[in-house]
Amino acid sequence: MKIRYLIANLYGVGGTIRTVINQANAMAADHDVELVSVFQARDRPKFPLDPRVRLHALADLRGPRWRHPVRGWLRHRPSLLVPPTEVRYATFSQLSDQKIVRYLRSLDDGVLVTTRPALNLLSARYTPQNVVRVAQEHMHLRSHKPELVAEIARWYPRLDAVVSLTDADAVEYAALLDGARTRLATIPNGLTPADRAPAAVDGRIIVAAGRLTRQKGFDLLIKAFAEVVADHPDWQLRIYGDGREHGRLRRLIHRLHLYNHAFLMGGTTTLEQELAKGAMFVLSSRYEGFGMVLTEAMAHGLPVVSFDCPHGPSDIVTHGRDGLLVPPEDVGALAAAMKSLIGDPSRRHALGDAARTSVMRYDMDRIRLTWERLFTELHTGTARAR
């Protein structure tokens, strides 16, 4: 089967990029797989890629040819096809409009998986119907602005399938697309294949990771950690990731006098190694699409503490058995949960051991089989209706 994944920028660092590469790598053993990046600004992706996966970029931004006056003009003109309420609207342009539409119209077979709302909407409008068109949701429906949701309701019924990360999100899509023939499915993210060292559960390091954006709630985590340090000054917080909130978070760390305790570690492509140094992992997001980093941490045997935000953490963590869930955005509850685990090493070990076992349901081979079944059913036309 020919399977193509279309992603905005394969060459950055982020959860969606990592997830899509993981899926492509897994599918490449038995299928003809191509990763198509709208933009390319560096030579190679940051994450490991199976050599059987073919790479293609629509707008290769390296080299002098992008100084051509027409291309340069289009590149700096705002997109006319991507809704302005799409979170990454500013990254698209009239140049990417042209490149994407030309690419979509050129397809004539196989499966196309698009990986964010802008690309899903364009696929619905311009991909020929003899291609199986699958929209992959990496956040959740209600995280999108109302104007974007209206566009989703208008165009997604043309797609063959919409795949959510959680059942709760699939229910919301079912209500929005009621009456459409679009297939709805829930397929969670699979674990990145890796040799995982056991976590240093008896250490004194709390680990967190994600883009430095408001969504990830690292400001809430830093405030909660200030309460932890007051009782446990020998503990340390390490936050891995890059993003526009870096300066604001650094100022918050200094304002709370945590400069010897809380550290912004920057982005990393070796998160597995960093997770293994932790004694616990904390997810402080205001909202999530799934919470892939939770599963990665749990696979190391890390005890986890997480806000019970929409959507994802409660699908992954069973409170009190393989982790702790606290009310969303409750800084005091987050601090109390961290302190409870700091004060009880045996519980950290018990939760970590249970976590390592429970996340095996996200093993990539299992997730791959689920994707293969969906693609096969859609490709043969046996399940195009919900």
Tens digits of residue pLDDT in 136-156: 999 999 999 999 999 999 999
Mean pLDDT of 349-374: 97
Q: Copy the structure tokens of residue 358.
A: 């429970």
CATH number corresponding to 205-362: 3.40.50.2000
Domain boundaries, the chain: 2-190+363-380, 205-362
Tens digit of each residue's pLDDT (9 = 90 or more) over 276-299: 999 999 999 999 989 899 999 999
pLDDT value, residue 383: 39
Q: How confident is the model at residue 157 (pLDDT cuts 50, 70, 90)?
A: very high
The answer to whether 250 and 222 are in contact (CB under 8 A) is no
Q: Which strands make up the sheet holding 324-326, listed edge to edge?
A: 262-266, 236-240, 205-209, 280-283, 304-307, 324-326
CATH number corresponding to 2-190+363-380: 3.40.50.2000
- State the average pLDDT for the chain: 94
What pTM was computed for the model?
0.89
Mean pLDDT of 237-262: 97
Q: What percent of the chain has pLDDT over 70?
A: 96
Residue 65 has pLDDT above 80, yes or no: no
Mean pLDDT of 54-75: 74
Q: What is the DSSP string of 286-335?
A: S--S--HHHHHHHHTT--EEEE--SSSHHHH--BTTTBEEE-TT-HHHHH
Distance CA 91, CA 39 (A): 9
Distance CA 133, CA 183 (A): 10
Tens digit of each residue's pLDDT (9 = 90 or more) over 20-36: 999 999 999 999 999 99
Among 13, 15, 10, smallest CA distance to 292 is for: 15
| CATH topology identical between 2-190+363-380 and 205-362 | yes
